Amino acid sequence: MSTAINVNTQANAAHRDHEGKEEQGARRITREAGRALEILGHAIEYLTDEYMQEGNVLSATDPQVRAIRLLVELNREVYFECPVVPTLAERVRTFFGTGKSANGASSRKKGPAAAGV
């Protein structure tokens, strides 16, 4: 059984899903994903600190900078693979059936016509 941890930080910036829609909000991070993020974060921090202490001039073609960028990309990939946790408002709307459907139409039924009269 995996334990999930809610994470709500500045890192929850907007992200586009495979359909190009914006995904944002807190993520449900599994123990495995959390451990991967922790390891990647430490590696990024270590390489960045080492690079700065060496006094290198920042260059996009530097192999060490490319390695850091690769780790950052992997970090984001692991993070954005975790599902977005619906907000309380979204959960309440879903529970009461008053939310908007995927096409933007209200799912709330109104009047006698909706009751089949």
The helix-helix angle for 31-53 and 63-81 (nearest 10°) equals 160
Domain ranges (residues) in the chain: 4-85
Share of the chain above pLDDT 90, in %: 48
Distance CA 74, CA 78 (A): 6
Tokens found for residue 33? 């994903």
Percent helix, strand, coil in the chain, to 5, is 45, 15, 40
Mind listing the pLDDT tens digit for each residue in 44-73? Answer: 999 999 999 998 888 889 999 999 999 999
Return the pLDDT at 58. 83
Read off the pLDDT of residues 23-34 as tens digits, 9 standing for 90 and up: 688 899 999 999
At 3, the pLDDT band (50, 70, 90 cuts) reads very low
Q: What is the DSSP letter of 6?
A: E
Rounded CA Rg of the chain: 21
- Report the alpha-carbon distance of residue 103 to residue 101 in Å, rounded: 5
Contacts of 17 (CB under 8 A, 6+ apart): 23
- CA gap 60, 100 in Å, rounded: 44
pTM to 2 decimals?
A: 0.60
Q: How confident is the model at residue 111 (pLDDT cuts 50, 70, 90)?
A: very low
